[in-house]
């Protein structure tokens, strides 16, 4: 029995025998709001206890992007060195759509490995490179001891036609060259270009069948969308870890733009909590941290042990979330 199947059975059992039973009880009693009293407090205690028990088994990874100014570069390296102390499973660096940005990705990846000793995983897209270029890039990474890659199709440029290669083809190519550890993308709320949710799921299965080691999801704010997606992956025979991508939000307008571009639902309650805070960055950060902490606690209770954080090159909120999960610097 696979790990995901076990997680699914446990999750279903908990839902049917705990949450649903409590829901039925309080609705029958005619005071649903009472759940926010003792029962709610008990759930919070259970969440905290669950994290305390699992903290030794939780893995984290971090995404960074190539900086475009000296000031942003300083911020990046400050964040890398701060988060390095948490001993992440790996760190990834995004990959631009032109040769200049690609070169920066290569340079930063190699520098992270040299300076920190961390496992560094460059993003690699196939939409804008020939097969020969991809082979050369992959061989160069392998020769430099970089054996983890995030394999992506990449965004089709405006006016571009059907791509010659897809992410599943890239995974096949990489595995034919070397035994890379490969992460691929997954979309709990469906890729914007997918014909249907089922077609999107089958595309993920093709990537996994080609040799991907894990799938990292697009960021999401609705935890249930991730949990339902994970269940569908299990049902489809996708047996790799579905790692949730977590985006800590301190700039709600920016996050909303990201969400609109990527078919990500922004819950009404979330927008309400950020309302009136456009000119109050300190409070925005506190609200965003609170929301993200609730999310990772619930995911942890649901059996998630691997978390991927979209840091936007800033360490503060990600560090706090990891601390909540019990991921902390090792004592000397």
Amino acid 54: pLDDT: 53
Amino acid 51: pLDDT: 52
Across the range 64-93, mean pLDDT stands at 96
Q: Torsions phi, psi of 215, nearest 5?
A: -120, 130
Q: How far is it, in rounded angstroms, from Cα 326 to Cα 57?
A: 10
Question: pLDDT of 181-199, one tens digit each?
Answer: 999 999 999 999 989 999 9
CB-based contact 134:126 (threshold 8 Å): yes
The continuous run of DSSP H or E covering 59 comes out as strand 59-64
Q: How far is it, in rounded angstroms, from Cα 140 to Cα 109?
A: 12
Amino acid 103: pLDDT: 81
Q: Which residue has the higher pLDDT, 150 or 54?
A: 150
Amino acid 275: pLDDT: 94
Q: Which of 185, 201, 195 is nearest to 245 (CA)?
A: 185
Mean pLDDT of the chain: 85
Q: Which residue has the higher pLDDT, 149 or 31?
A: 149
Name the band, by pLDDT with cuts 50, 70 and 90, for residue 129. Answer: confident
Q: Which of 114, 107, 121, 117 is nearest to 62 (CA)?
A: 121
Amino acid 68: pLDDT: 87
Amino acid 29: pLDDT: 36
Question: pLDDT of 84-120, one tens digit each?
Answer: 999 999 999 998 655 557 788 999 999 999 999 999 9
Strand residue runs (E) in 169-274? 181-186, 214-219, 241-246
Return the minimum-mean-pLDDT range out of 31-45, 77-91, 155-169, 216-230: 31-45
pTM: 0.84
- Out of 23, 33, 53, 63, pick the active-site residue: 63
Question: pLDDT of 217-260, one tens digit each?
Answer: 999 999 999 999 999 999 999 999 999 999 999 999 999 999 99
**What are the sequence ranges of the domains in the chain?**
60-324
For the record, the structure tokens of 34 come out as 């009472």
For the record, the structure tokens of 24 come out as 């039925």
Q: Which residue has the higher pLDDT, 97 or 308?
A: 308
Amino acid 184: pLDDT: 98
73 catalytic? Reply is no
CATH class of 60-324: alpha beta
């Amino acid at each position: 029995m696979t790990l995901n199947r076990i997680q699914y059975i446990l999750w279903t059992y908990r839902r049917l025998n705990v949450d649903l039973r409590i829901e039925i009880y309080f609705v029958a009693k005619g005071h649903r709001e009472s759940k926010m009293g003792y029962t709610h407090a008990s759930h919070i205690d259970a969440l905290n206890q669950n994290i305390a028990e699992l903290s030794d088994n939780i893995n984290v990874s971090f995404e960074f992007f190539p900086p475009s100014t000296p000031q942003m570069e300083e911020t990046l390296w400050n964040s890398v060195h701060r988060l390095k102390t948490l001993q992440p499973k790996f760190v990834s660096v995004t990959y631009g759509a032109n040769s200049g940005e690609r070169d920066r990705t290569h340079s930063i990846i190699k520098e992270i490995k040299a300076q920190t000793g961390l496992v560094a995983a460059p993003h690699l897209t196939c939409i804008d490179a020939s097969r020969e270029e991809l082979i050369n890039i992959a061989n160069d990474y392998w020769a430099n001891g970089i054996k983890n890659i995030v394999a992506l199709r990449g965004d089709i440029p405006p006016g571009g036609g059907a791509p010659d290669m897809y992410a599943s083809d890239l995974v096949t190519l990489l595995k034919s060259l070397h035994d890379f550890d490969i992460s691929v993308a997954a979309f709990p709320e469906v890729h914007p270009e997918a014909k249907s949710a089922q077609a999107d799921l089958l595309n993920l299965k093709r990537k996994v069948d080609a040799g991907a080691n894990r799938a990292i999801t697009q960021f999401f704010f609705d935890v249930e969308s991730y949990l339902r997606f994970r269940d569908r992956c299990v049902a489809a025979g996708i047996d790799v870890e579905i790692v949730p991508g977590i985006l800590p939000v301190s700039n709600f307008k920016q996050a909303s733009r990201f969400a609109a571009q990527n078919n990500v639902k922004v819950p009404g309650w979330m927008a309400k909590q950020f309302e009136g805070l456009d000119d109050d960055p300190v409070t925005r950060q506190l609200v965003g941290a609170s929301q993200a902490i609730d999310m990772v606690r619930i995911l942890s209770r649901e059996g998630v042990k691997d978390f991927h954080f979209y840091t936007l090159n800033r360490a503060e909120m990600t560090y706090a979330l990891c601390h909540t999960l019990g991921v902390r610097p090792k004592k000397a």
